[in-house]
Amino acid sequence: MSSFLVHIDQLTIRRDEQVWQHELKLAPGEMAVVMGPSGCGKTTLLEALAGFLPIASGQLWVAGQAVETWPANKRPVSLLFQQHNFFEHLDVTANLKLGFPSGRPDDQQWQKLLQACQLLGVDALLQRKPDELSGGQKQRLALIRAVLRPQPLVLLDEPFSALDDRYRERAADWLQKEIKTSGRAALLVSHRQEDAEHLADHLLLLE
């Protein structure tokens, strides 16, 4: 177990009449890209790993701990939903800070976040409210918040879907570098083959 940061071990997930089984090992710094047609269980897998859907059997090891029975708020996981989950009454700065323990990033964490905002072209938006942002701006900010949360496993559901080609490539490069240099692991759901070619240390094909 020690050489792997994440071990999805004979994991069975049931939703209605459907049953999925998964097996995957990720070392520190590795990323798996999850692909497959609509309805094949890609988002369902992320929801189960994050604790929002019960795991029928099998084990989920993260950073040396079996966490498959832990509630969602205790799991060492950061999940980026497609809905982005911003509080509309708070400005962008306040929403970004909520990604950190007690809503209080330390100076180093906040500096890293500001650098990511500058790289992805959203540094001028920090005082705005979410309803003043475009879909692509929200997605870049949500990606930054999810990836920089201090959790060993990052789960990303179509994180580039609202981005044009320029920002998609820039965001993918930043994500890959951040996961590798931080020694964490990530699962990324995508429907684009170039994401698999660019980012995947492992490819999980669902049917």
pLDDT at residue number 2:
55
Q: Which amino acid is at 112?
A: K
Determine which helix (DSSP H) or strand (DSSP E) holds 169, and give its type and residue range.
helix 165-182
Residue 93 in tokens: 């700065």
pTM comes to 0.95
d(CA 78, CA 50): 8
Contact criterion met (CB below 8 Å) for 30 and 201: yes
Domains and CATH numbers, the chain: 6-205 (3.40.50.300)
pLDDT at residue number 3:
84
pLDDT at residue number 1:
45
pLDDT at residue number 205:
95
Rounded mean pLDDT for each run of 10 residues along the chain, 207 residues in total = 86 93 97 95 96 96 97 96 87 95 93 97 97 96 96 97 94 98 97 94 95
Contact criterion met (CB below 8 Å) for 203 and 196: yes
β partners of residue 64: none
d(CA 193, CA 143): 20
